[in-house]
Amino acid sequence: MADADSELVLRSQQADPAAFEELVRQHQRMIHALTFRMTGSLADAEDLAQETFLRAYQQIGSFRGASKFSTWLYRIAMNICLNWRQSETRRCHLYAQAAGEFSTQHADQGNFPADQAAEVQAALLKLPAKQRAAIVLTIYDGLNHAEAAHVLSCSETTVSWRVFAARRKLKRLLTAGRSAPLPPPAGEKTCAEDRTPSP
């Protein structure tokens, strides 16, 4: 287990609650940022982040170190977010609230000016959940396509196509108002982002 968190993970697997609490402290900001970008609601993001760590605690014994602990944690959080999205029925009511919350409290996380952060977040919420997940992981959180594919349990080609399709949709959504150009995601391929679509 070559992960920087390996000692804490091992102690957690040996039923050391203090070790797992330290893992939570080290990763809670990252997970909360992910859940917020996927939900657009601070309240829902907090609930899903807590559920992520609860599930990680319950499943820590199954972690074998095949990937980094943070990647394993990302995968749990993303699955929870995607499941939440399937049953979420309040998006229209949360839309305006989410934009305001993102603008005032998370403007620095996506490298956008404060007056554009709300617009970008609102556009993200209009994307299909799987395309939004690909954009969040590669652009906001800096994962390369291989790492994002592992988190999302799909191929790199699928990630590349979802990023390509999402960026195209975001560009259309943002051209109506003030546009905020998206930075190239870490590890993005340059060969037309794998043009073969995947379901």
CATH code assigned at 133: 1.10.10.10
| Owning domain of residue 1 | 1-88
Is residue 96 included in any domain, yes or no? no
6/83 same-domain check: yes
Q: How many CB atoms lie within 10 A of CB 165?
A: 19
User: How many Å apart are CA 166 and CA 130, to the nearest integer?
Assistant: 9
119 and 79 in a common domain: no
In the chain, the percentage of residues whose pLDDT exceeds 70 is: 71
Q: Give the residue from 167, 94, 108 showing the smallest Cα distance to 132.
A: 167
Contacts of 152 (CB under 8 A, 6+ apart): 75, 78, 130, 133, 134, 137, 158, 159
Give pLDDT tens digits for 124-143: 888 888 888 888 888 888 88
Q: Is the pLDDT of residue 32 over 90?
A: yes
Q: Quick one: tokens of 105?
A: 């409290």
Q: Is the same domain home to 83 and 118?
A: no
Q: Is residue 82 part of a domain?
A: yes
Same domain (yes/no): 123, 83: no
Give the number of other CB atoms < 10 A from CB of residue 50. 15
Q: Is 172 a domain residue?
A: yes
Q: Average of pLDDT values for 78-91?
A: 74
Q: Do 64 and 137 lie in a common domain?
A: no
Mean pLDDT on 107-112: 49
The pLDDT of residue 127: 87
* Distance in angstroms (rounded) separating the CA atoms of residues 66 and 150: 11
Residues 68 and 132 placed together within one structural domain of the fold: no
CATH code of the domain containing 10: 1.10.1740.10
What's the domain count of the chain? Answer: 2
pLDDT greater than 60 at residue 75: yes
Same domain? 73 vs 6: yes
Cα 99 to Cα 62: distance, rounded to the nearest angstrom: 38
Most confidently predicted of 25-39, 86-100, 111-125: 25-39
Tell me, yes or no, whether 165 and 123 share the same domain.
yes
Asked, for residue 93, whether it belongs to a domain, the answer is no
Same domain flag for 180 and 118: yes
Domain match, 177 and 137 both = yes
2 with 83, same domain: the answer is yes
**Cβ 81 vs Cβ 38: under 8 Å:** yes
Is residue 40 domain-resident? yes
The domain boundary residue, chosen from 53, 88, 123: 88
Q: Could you tell me the pLDDT band of residue 96, with boundaries at 50, 70 and 90? A: very low
pLDDT number for residue 183 = 53
> Position of tokens 């989410």?
98
Quick one: which of 28, 34, 32 has its CA closest to 132? 34
Q: How many CA atoms, within 13 angstroms, populate the side-chain half-sphere of residue 78?
A: 24
Q: Which residue has the higher pLDDT, 76 or 102?
A: 76
